[in-house]
Amino acid sequence: MKPYQISLTALLMAMFLSSTANAHFPWLVIGNDPGRVQIYVSESAAPDKPEFLKNLVGVPVQQITAAGDTKELSTAVGETSLIATPLGNTASAFVLAGAGRVLPFHGKNTLMNSCGKTYCPSANGKWNTIDSSNHVELDIVPRVDGDKLTLQVLWHGKPAVDAELSLKGPIFSNEVIAGQVSRVTAELNDKGEFSFTLPKSGLLSIRASYTEQTKGELDGKEYVRVRNNSTLALNLSN
């Protein structure tokens, strides 16, 4: 059996197709233009209907450097996205946290909190040197371990072993499977981590969800639980 076949078999054993219906979350993406952060509201890190952006108009993006400096970036409305302009070219993470909304989820009113994160190209492979834990309650921290990409999900800085982690993108190298794959859900270990073979290129759409059984009220609407969602777009092509 070839080495890539072994890794493919192991990954398929650890993952299964997600049965969750399509939903929309904020995604921050830096594409071919490193001087522009694009914000989408979509099922993955790609444009969707522009009207989905209306609830994020005016919400700033936080730029966080490896030194811990934080700068607030305003956003402008583009044709298919909101746009923020990075300050400088130092290795940085970019975070956007939208206001919570009470929505029906699986038949129950749920407070949905959502945030998104991405990194500039100069941070590729050094993502875990930038601490964004003070800016998002539910954080996805990527790091490179040899030929593996490890994703750790943290809740208030501690491993979120009960979180759900799903991802979409070119999971395998181009020699194995070309193009995109369906969204899959990964099983986290006791450190809140999931590892797989580091893709050679492409855009990964990664989402973590963590549910709190907490009741409350927001804007006159009662809810019986809180579902926290965090997205991470990793562009390995830059």
Write the pLDDT tens digit of every residue in 78-103: 999 999 999 988 999 999 987 789 99
Which of the four pLDDT bands, split at 50, 70 and 90, describes residue 19? Answer: very low
**% of the chain with per-residue pLDDT over 90:** 68
Which of the four pLDDT bands, split at 50, 70 and 90, describes residue 182? Answer: low
CB of 215 closer than 8 Å to CB of 224: yes
Residue 109 β-bridge partners: 104
What is the mean pLDDT of the segment spanning 168-176?
Answer: 54
Mean of the per-residue pLDDT values of the chain: 85
Q: What is the pLDDT of residue 185?
A: 82
Q: Assess whether pLDDT exceeds 50 at residue 137.
A: yes
What do you get for the CA distance between the two ends of the chain, in Å?
32
Which of the four pLDDT bands, split at 50, 70 and 90, describes residue 199? Answer: confident
- The DSSP string of 117-151 is EEE-GGGTT-GGGS--TTT-SEEEEEEEETTEEEE
Q: Assess whether pLDDT exceeds 90 at residue 9.
A: no
Q: What is the pLDDT of residue 81?
A: 95
What is the mean pLDDT of the segment spanning 190-216?
Answer: 93
Q: What is the pLDDT of residue 15?
A: 33
- Pairing type for strands 225-235 and 203-212 reads antiparallel
**% of the chain with per-residue pLDDT over 70:** 84
Q: Assess whether pLDDT exceeds 60 at residue 1.
A: no
Angle at 134 between CA 164 and CA 118, to 5 degrees: 60
Which of the four pLDDT bands, split at 50, 70 and 90, describes residue 174? Answer: very low
Q: Assess whether pLDDT exceeds 50 at residue 52.
A: yes
The residue ranges of DSSP E strands in the chain, in sequence order, are 15-17, 25-29, 37-42, 61-65, 70-73, 75-77, 82-84, 92-97, 101-105, 108-119, 138-145, 148-155, 158-159, 164-168, 184-186, 193-197, 203-212, 216-218, 221-223, 225-235
Distance CA 109, CA 134 (A): 28
Distance CA 176, CA 197 (A): 12
Q: Assess whether pLDDT exceeds 60 at residue 20.
A: no
